[in-house]
Amino acid sequence: MFTSLINTNNINIFTIQYTLVSNVSSLNSALQLLFQAEVLAIDCETTGLDPLTDSIRLIQIAAPNHPVVLIDLPAIPKSDRSLLKQLLSNSAVKIAHNAKFDWQFLTLAGLQTSGKFFDTQLAYKVLTAGLKTSSSLQNIVKKLLHFQLDKTQQISDWCKPLTKAQLHYAAFDAAILLDLYPILLKKLKQAKLLKIARLEFQCMPVVAQMELNGMLFDLSRWQILGAKLEIEKTDALNQLKQLRIASSQMSLLPELTDAVNPNSPQQVLAALQAIGIKINSTNQSKLVSLAAQYPIIQALLDYRRLSKIIGTFTEKLPQHIHPKTGRIHPNYYQLGAKSGRFSCRKPPLQNIPRDQTARSCFIAAPGYKIIKADYSQIELRIMARLSADIKMCQAYRQGADLHRLTASLVTGKHINEVTEEDRRLAKAINFGLIFGMGAAKLQIYAQVKYGVAMTLEQAKAFRKRFFEAYPGIAKWHENIKHEYTRGIKESRTLANRRRRWVNKPRLSELFNHPVQGLNADINKLAMVKLSNPLAKFKTKLICVRHDEIVLECPETKVEQVSHTLHNCMVAAAQKFLNPIPVVIDIKTSNSW
DNA sequence: TCAGAGTGCGCC
DNA sequence: AAACGGCGCACGCTGA
């Protein structure tokens, strides 16, 4: 099916030309020829995957109509790399696949790449957001150039003297990017995605630097916290044991129920059913409302919460402290979510419990402060902007508390009589209903997340009143429903980010994407705007979380940096939300 | 025995 | 007619 031999613009799979340079004179004469090129494809082969401990073995630079330059970097003394540095920061478009990886290695080798970037992986992800497709170089080459890329050398030993096969592979990997570039560029233009792709490209070095920065972590404080949680968990487990013995007396098979594993939903369900609790599943939403009635259920919920925190964070986070920096450097994937949001892994810092005692273990280095800024109610503001609901827009323009307003509208109370519980109720209503939640889920959601109990009838009534109170939202939902019934192929955010729909999407997904996606667009734009100020103020971006940006800043510059951070975030959001005002909450302290 | 789907839950 | 969305990770369980 796939041709093994193909002539593309620049290369032939068997006749690819390359020049291996291992001394400064041959390096510089090879580089001289590349300064006229408007595009440069760059790739690095490294001794491993960790930029903080591994190093570059080979740099490949490809330009149209030139042999690929393969630079044996360890053979070039640091003092002889000035022309290379110059090339990597010139005005050419730098093309790379997963450029973050190469940027990090090059930066730590003192070869910071700057200027315009074009990341073939990000470009492909922007084009295919929503589809189930791999964005590996191999797959992209297969889909766009119609041949099978041989990656067997990728896992070869790059620490030993390089073989001809390795050099050929390395040259090819860089050269192929020159062929992908015009195709991806054309597709981006045709799909009106070039702008959003450029936002991603500009964001890339900011993300790359953020990973290198990492977060400083107070291990001893964390361990004290962990020990406390461990005690609480044991308490909960003991309660579960005692109560299980009681339950086993009612069972015909005590030897089985004695062995109930609290981590097994199946066994727990059977055990709870055996003592007469009528449930069909043991998830939080089914159990919360029964916790007051049955102590064992409270113990189970406690146990689950604590073992989650201990298993996922308390025990795992210390393993991610980097021996070289003493900091935690997670992996951020700027297009990790189909909506355009970031995802974060190893460790998942975007999921750290919001509990202040946990977060206070992430600390500023001596002489630094942590500045944390988040967008206030960004999704609701986006919703106001998209729906142009008159009451919602007016409330935000007047600086009113939207949750209080909703509380007043759905309960019929005067705005001054709204209680704290009413306001929590309104939060559940606002956050839930904009994405199309039904009455049954609203009832559960309000109980689980906000501790507000209501009957199904009340939930139905609240739902009805919400859409009567905000007819603009109801209309916006109607419009999307209309598109939905006609069969919709894609959704766009205001920044024109696209998400494609493969099968018939759920209606709620259609409600969600324009909101969640624009939130991501805004946060990324804010990061890009911050890029230069961060360098100027020697401040580190250390974490981003959907609507939140965390910086580590020299103590002496806190005021200027807070001010700049505020301005960048406001400007990014204003670009899309105008005339809805944007509010940023900023806090400065010694820890997160 | 081990990959993978399923359940459950931490975050926004 | 009714329907929140987006992640990553740990765990028990299933089936080839």
How far, in Å, is the CA of A178 from the C1' of nucleotide B10? Answer: 42
Amino acid at A346: K
How far, in Å, is the CA of A309 from the C1' of nucleotide B11? Answer: 12
Chain B, protein-covered positions (CB within 7 A): 7-12
Protein residues bordering strand B (Cβ below 7 A): A 265, 269, 281-285, 287, 301, 304-305, 308-309, 312, 348, 350-355, 374, 545-548
Question: Among all strands, which nt has the closest C1' to A358 (CA)?
Answer: B10
Amino acid at A109: A
How far, in Å, is the CA of A559 from the C1' of nucleotide C9? Answer: 38
- Long-range pairs for A191-197 at CB < 8 Å and ≥24 separation? A191/A127, A191/A498, A192/A496, A193/A126, A193/A127, A193/A496, A193/A497, A193/A498, A195/A495, A195/A496, A196/A126, A196/A340, A196/A495, A196/A496, A196/A497, A196/A498, A196/A521, A197/A122, A197/A123, A197/A126
Of the candidates A520, A559, A71, the one whose C-alpha atom is nearest the C-alpha of residue A339 is: A520
Report yes or no: A123 and A105 within 8 Å, Cβ to Cβ. Answer: no
Report yes or no: A320 and A209 within 8 Å, Cβ to Cβ. Answer: no
Judge if the beta carbon of A347 is closer than 7 A to nucleic acid strand C.
yes
Q: Is the dihedral of CA A351, A365, A321, A210 positive or negative?
A: positive
Report yes or no: A211 and A224 within 8 Å, Cβ to Cβ. Answer: no
- For residue A205, which phi and psi values (nearest 5 degrees)? -65, -30
Report yes or no: A175 and A141 within 8 Å, Cβ to Cβ. Answer: no
Report the relative pairing of strands A93-96 and A117-119 from DSSP bridges.
parallel
Tell me which CATH code domain A354-384+496-592 carries.
Answer: 3.30.70.370
State which residues between 424 and 463 of chain A bring their CB within 7 Å of strand C: 431-432, 435-441, 445
User: Taking phi first (over 0 means left), then psi (-120 to 50 degrees means alpha), and beta for anything else, what does residue A451 get?
Assistant: left
Question: Among all strands, which nt has the closest C1' to A545 (CA)?
Answer: B12
What local confidence, expressed as pLDDT, does residue A243 receive?
Answer: 54
Tokens of A402: 């939207």
Fold agreement between A2-211 and A354-384+496-592: no
Report yes or no: A429 and A442 within 8 Å, Cβ to Cβ. Answer: yes
Tell me which CATH code domain A219-317 carries.
Answer: 1.20.1060
How far, in Å, is the CA of A565 from the C1' of nucleotide B8? Answer: 37
Of the candidates A93, A27, A44, the one whose C-alpha atom is nearest the C-alpha of residue A64 is: A93
Question: Among all strands, which nt has the closest C1' to A374 (CA)?
Answer: B12
Determine the Cα–Cα distance for residues A360 and A500; give it in Å rounded to an integer: 40
Tokens of A376: 């206030």
Instruction: Tell me the CB-side half-sphere exposure of residue A169, using CA atoms within 13 A.
Output: 19
User: What is the pTM for the complete model shown?
Assistant: 0.94
Report yes or no: A442 and A428 within 8 Å, Cβ to Cβ. Answer: yes
What one-character-per-residue DSSP string does A160-189 give? SPPPHHHHHHHHHHHHHHHHHHHHHHHHHH
Determine the Cα–Cα distance for residues A170 and A154; give it in Å rounded to an integer: 9
pLDDT by residue, tens only, chain A of 592 residues: 233 344 454 445 557 899 999 999 999 999 999 999 999 999 999 999 999 999 999 999 999 999 999 999 999 999 999 999 999 999 999 999 999 999 999 999 999 999 999 999 999 999 999 999 999 999 999 999 998 888 777 777 887 888 898 999 999 999 999 999 999 999 999 999 999 999 999 999 999 999 999 999 999 999 999 999 999 999 999 888 865 534 444 444 444 446 688 898 888 888 888 888 888 888 888 888 888 888 889 999 999 999 999 999 999 999 999 999 999 999 999 999 999 999 999 999 999 999 998 999 999 999 999 999 999 999 999 999 999 999 999 999 999 999 999 999 999 999 999 999 999 999 999 999 999 999 999 999 999 999 999 999 999 999 999 999 999 999 999 999 999 999 999 999 999 999 999 888 999 999 999 999 999 999 999 999 999 999 999 999 999 999 999 999 999 999 999 999 999 999 999 999 999 999 999 999 999 9
Q: How far is CA A331 from CA A38, A44, A405, A544, in A?
A: 31, 19, 40, 12
What local confidence, expressed as pLDDT, does residue A248 receive?
Answer: 45
Judge if the beta carbon of A340 is closer than 7 A to nucleic acid strand C.
no
Determine the Cα–Cα distance for residues A194 and A250; give it in Å rounded to an integer: 67
Amino acid at A525: L
Report yes or no: A491 and A514 within 8 Å, Cβ to Cβ. Answer: yes
Q: How far is CA A212 from CA A53, A94, A207, A580, in A?
A: 11, 21, 9, 36
Question: Among all strands, which nt has the closest C1' to A433 (CA)?
Answer: C4
Domain map of chain A by residue range? Answer: 2-211, 219-317, 354-384+496-592, 390-469
How far, in Å, is the CA of A261 from the C1' of nucleotide C14? Answer: 18
Chain C, protein-covered positions (CB within 7 A): 2-14
The H-or-E segment that residue A96 falls in is strand A93-96
How far, in Å, is the CA of A365 from the C1' of nucleotide B12? Answer: 26
Report yes or no: A531 and A206 within 8 Å, Cβ to Cβ. Answer: yes
User: SS3 of A71, please?
Assistant: strand
Determine the Cα–Cα distance for residues A66 and A63; give it in Å rounded to an integer: 6
Determine the Cα–Cα distance for residues A156 and A301; give it in Å rounded to an integer: 49
Architecture of domain A2-211: 2-Layer Sandwich (3.30)
Q: How far is CA A277 from CA A236, A254, A297, A523, in A?
A: 19, 18, 10, 46
How far, in Å, is the CA of A129 from the C1' of nucleotide C5? Answer: 15
Report yes or no: A272 and A282 within 8 Å, Cβ to Cβ. Answer: yes
Q: How far is CA A444 from CA A202, A302, A456, in A?
A: 42, 18, 9
Cβ-based burial of A359 (10 A; exposed 0-12, middle 13-18, buried ≥19): middle
Judge if the beta carbon of A128 is closer than 7 A to nucleic acid strand C.
no
